[in-house]
Amino acid sequence: MTPTPDSDLQLLTQAALFDGLTEAQLHTIQQHATLVRVPRRTFFFHQGEAATTFYLLREGQVRLSQINPEGKQVIIHLFGPGDVLAVIVVLSNAPYPLSAEAITDCVAWAWNRETAVHLMEQCPRLAINGMDMVAGRFLELQNRYRELSTERVEQRVARALIRLIHQRNGYQEQKPYPLLSLTRQDLAEMTGTTLYTVSRICSSWEQQGLLEAGREQLHIHKLEELTTIADDLRPSPPNFPPRPN
């Protein structure tokens, strides 16, 4: 951990978490921040450890996952730059309910529990922003929960890909949209299915020219088609009238 150099203040101010704060407040916040580097395949924290720190991710990709007694993993979220790690849990001093692993080399700002609470009590705006970010995550999780309850595997995988493209590349990138450092296993753990099923689905989509599949990467050619797959409701024998309603 090294003290944050001045040049970083710029970057800090751009984060959604700090929207609407005054110069002075930003300065205080920045003074209490430390910069951490977390190399690929190592952990920000493990499930069960005391939640002492929260992070604002500057560079890299982070996988938030929970593991159950049987050893099965579930991916709750993938984070990218600008996202906030462990805001929720750091307020109540419960243990981390899940683990955060760097999928690529990461750089993040870190604050500890006490300063976090203190800062929020000083500037309500910070608490409100935090709540807002939690809200977004909450909505996403709610939707994924509904999908897991009601949709078939193929649809869920399609949605997962769409979601990843939106949040990772922030849209702008050219077709074919790339998804890197993403294993079939990851996709399976995101959608509540198995490695095997994901593999079959990807193969089938590749044959249809929908995407190009590679080791730890996919390149999506026809996003629109994925969308129609995701929204396609057909609990019925092949060749069904599109739906009477």
Partner DNA sequence: CGCATCGTTGATCAAGCTCAAGCCGCGTGG
Partner DNA sequence: CCACGCGGCTTGAGCTTGATCAACGATGCG
What residue ranges bind DNA (CB under 7 A)?
152-154, 183-185, 192-197, 199-200, 202-203, 206, 213, 215-216, 235-237
What sign does the dihedral 181-184-189-192 (CA atoms) show? positive
Q: What is the pairing mode between strands 43-45 and 217-220? A: unpaired
Residue ranges in 136-155 that form contacts with its own copies under rule CB under 8 A: 136-139, 141-146, 148-151
SS3 118: helix
Residue 76 binds what, of its own copies, DNA, none (CB under 5 to 8 Å, by partner type)? its own copies
Residue 6 binds what, of its own copies, DNA, none (CB under 5 to 8 Å, by partner type)? none
Residue from the set 26, 131, 153, 162 that interacts with its own copies by CB under 8 A: 131
Residue 183 binds what, of its own copies, DNA, none (CB under 5 to 8 Å, by partner type)? DNA
Which residue reads 């080399």 in tokens?
Answer: 105
- The Cα–Cα gap between 20 and 238 comes to 54
Residue 100's identity, in one-letter code, is A
Should residue 49 be labelled a site residue for its own copies when binding is judged by CB under 8 A? no
Binding part of the chain for its own copies, among 1-9, 99-107, 113-121, 206-214 by CB under 8 A, reads: 113-121
Eight-class DSSP state of 42 = -
Residue 196 binds what, of DNA, its own copies, none (CB under 5 to 8 Å, by partner type)? DNA
**In this structure, what are the phi and psi dihedrals at residue 131, rounded to the nearest 5 degrees?**
-60, -40
